[in-house]
Amino acid sequence: MSDHTHHHDDEHDPVYFQYEQIDQQQETYVLGMWSFLVTEVLFFGALFMLYIIYRWKFQDDFYLVHEQLNWKLGGLNTAVLLFSSFMVAAAVHYAQKKRKTQQLICLGITLLCAFMFMMVKTKEYGDKWSHHLIPNKAFSYGEHHGGGGELGGQGEHAAVLPNGGKITLASGATNMGGEGASHDEFQYHPGNGTIAPQPREKPAFLKFLDGVFAPLDMPEKEQHGSPEHARLFLSLYFLMTGLHGVHVLVGIIVISALMILTIKKAPTITDYIPTEMVGLYWHFVDLVWIFLYPLFYLIPK
């Protein structure tokens, strides 16, 4: 069998057969990774431009709706990702020095930070689901004024939800059901004649996360602003942060694979370049969040 490298010893990284020297090989790796990251920038750039246009058109409502987000949880995730960037940079440094133990420790801490980030996002998404703020058919924002007559008979209250569903409530009752709404999801307040959704019961795991992050809870804000613009804002929020979350999950998979291959001393991991490529990807993921956090969580009045 022919050797796939020009040389390979303990002091020098291998040069593979398609390259003439180590500098050419490393520059090729870096160029390929940066080309990939440029396509990612173009992909996210279109979404950021979409956000900017709608933010410019509906600044007042976007400000009111953004108060439904917890800036403390978003700030925690920002700190977690910044620390993870430092750790992955340290992992690249130790990979260059061929200090595998320290490299693996830094990658492991980065991995823990990624899991921490996803736990916080799960808690945030769970809160939005509980309060009917997922922009789907069950979406409901603000209070809806009821009244008898058109939908309900004498002694009944009725309202049309933002999703087009119709709900009715018999006089003296508290919960209601109807087309487009489950029986116990909405409640009539006779004092001001409004109908508002009741929070959904959370599963055990979301309750566990609520307990873990209880110190960062914020008082619940009243829902003001246009329901249509609220749906638009939250659609952008879930689209952009959800897409970013997918990239975090990919990062978890890639970092885990890199750690496993490094531990097994796989022939594909012969120098520091794979660690540097993973580091570049992770820095990009962190950078995207650095823009997402102020755009969604810190909108000025």
Tell me the per-residue pLDDT of 238-293, one tens digit each, with 9 for 90 and over: 999 999 999 999 999 999 999 999 999 887 787 888 899 999 999 999 999 999 99
Residue 145 host element (H or E) = strand 144-145
Backbone CA torsion sign across 283, 287, 290, 293: negative
Average pLDDT over residues 46-71: 96
How far is 55 from 237, CA to CA, in rounded Å? 12
Backbone CA torsion sign across 28, 33, 36, 37: negative
pLDDT band of residue 33 (cuts 50, 70, 90) is confident
- Whether the Cβ atoms of residue 122 and residue 128 lie closer than 8 Å to each other: no
* CA neighbours closer than 13 Å in the CB half-sphere of residue 73: 25
Flag whether pLDDT at 13 surpasses 80.
Answer: no
What type of residue sits at position 271? D
**pLDDT computed for residue 146 by the predictor:** 45
- Picking from 170, 173, 171, 144, the residue whose alpha carbon sits closest to that of residue 159 is 144
Residue 160 host element (H or E) = strand 156-160
pLDDT band of residue 22 (cuts 50, 70, 90) is low
Average per-residue pLDDT for the chain? 82
Q: Which domains does the chain have, with CATH numbers?
A: 22-131+217-297 (1.20.120.80), 144-197 (no CATH)
Name the token pair of 159.
């309202």
Q: 144 by DSSP, 3-state: which?
A: strand
